[in-house]
Amino acid sequence: MGITNKTLTAQSKGDAPTARPPSKKTAVVNWLPLLPFFLFAALFLFLPSISIFVRSFESVDGGFTFDNIIALFTVQDFVNAYKTSLTISVITALGGAVFGFLLAYAVILGGLPKGLRTFMTTFSGVASNFAGVPLAFAFIATMGNAGLVTRWLESAFEIDIHAGGFTIYSITGLSIVYMYFQFPLMVLIMAPALDGLHREWNEACANLGGTNWHYWRYIAFPILLPSLLGTTILLFGNAFGAYATAYAFSGSFINLVPILIGAQMQGDVLFNPGLGNALALGMVFIMGISMIGYITLQRRAARWLR
């Protein structure tokens, strides 16, 4: 088994089309194996999502109304929520992408001991899902008013990080918290892409007299760019939809769209599911656009990952 696998894999990587043209069977038989998957998706993904769309037009007493959708654009609170959500998502997507990439590069191509790569990838697997109350508490316990680092800085260096008006309960603070699952997600997704950078390319470049800078500028980055951009978009979506962490951290005190949705669908004060659904629809729309961008970029990236 071992020899067969390695030989076949070394000779022909990826499923590039072979010499003969692909068979044109569009018979039903070809679609059957895909049926369970799409049926499941229809039942548990598409239908409920459509219900979001439908229920956005529901008023509090069950009638039909455009008020909810209109409110998305007219109520200052909602507009601000979208603005804040977008801001945080962009900041953490870019920040997460940059440092996440550097981290992935460091452990994979940076000449560090092999064990560190395994350490980082397994850690990223856990950290990318570490969210909600435990994450919020961890950061409050670190950098909050009575945090470990806060107290240490004060006692050891007499630096009061709150003196300049810095507080962790701000967009800046929340962004720092969000990075905890953004960096690992970047590492996890970029690792295979970095693996795909054949060593031969680096050597060929050196052979032709190029420096490391040339390698990166003309070979590696252009190849990685679609993956990088695509993953950044993924990080954007990840941050935009984050609810548990934001709520555990600052409740509704920072104005974010998922928090608003939660307030409308749960809790004992507000209750307008139609509005909640409308807000969600806005979210779906924004994410939908970013996903289209992601898919386009991924197609370009796939070309090079053979």
Write out the binding residues for another protein, residues 89-108 only, by CB under 8 A: 99, 102-103, 105-107
Question: In the complex with another protein, which residue's Cβ is closer, 97 or 127?
Answer: 127
Q: Is 36 in the site for another protein (CB under 8 A)?
A: yes
CB of 209 to another protein, least distance (A): 18
b/e map of 239-259 (b: 16 or more CB within 10 Å)? bbbbeebbbbbbeeebbbbbb
Sequence-ordered list of residues with C-beta below 8 angstroms from that of 140, at least 6 positions apart, any chain: 147, 168, 249
User: Which stretch of DSSP H or E encloses residue 27?
Assistant: none
In the set 60, 70, 73, 137, which binds another protein (CB under 8 A)? 137
Q: Is 82 in the site for another protein (CB under 8 A)?
A: no
Residues 50 to 79: which contact another protein by CB under 8 A? Answer: 50-52, 55, 76-77
CB of 64 to another protein, least distance (A): 17
Q: Is 116 in the site for another protein (CB under 8 A)?
A: yes
Residues 193 to 212: which contact another protein by CB under 8 A? Answer: 195, 199, 212
Contact 162, 147 (CB under 8 A): no
Query: How far, in Å, CA of 27 to CA of 102, rounded?
Result: 47
In the set 210, 273, 293, 304, which binds another protein (CB under 8 A)? 273
Residues 206 to 245: which contact another protein by CB under 8 A? Answer: 212, 234, 237-238, 241, 243-244
Contact 105, 166 (CB under 8 A): no
Sequence-ordered list of residues with C-beta below 8 angstroms from that of 1, at least 6 positions apart, any chain: none
CB of 65 to another protein, least distance (A): 18
> Could you tell me how many residues of this chain bind another protein (CB under 8 A)?
126
Please spell the DSSP secondary structure of 58-93, one letter per residue. B-TTS-B-SHHHHHHHH-HHHHHHHHHHHHHHHHHH
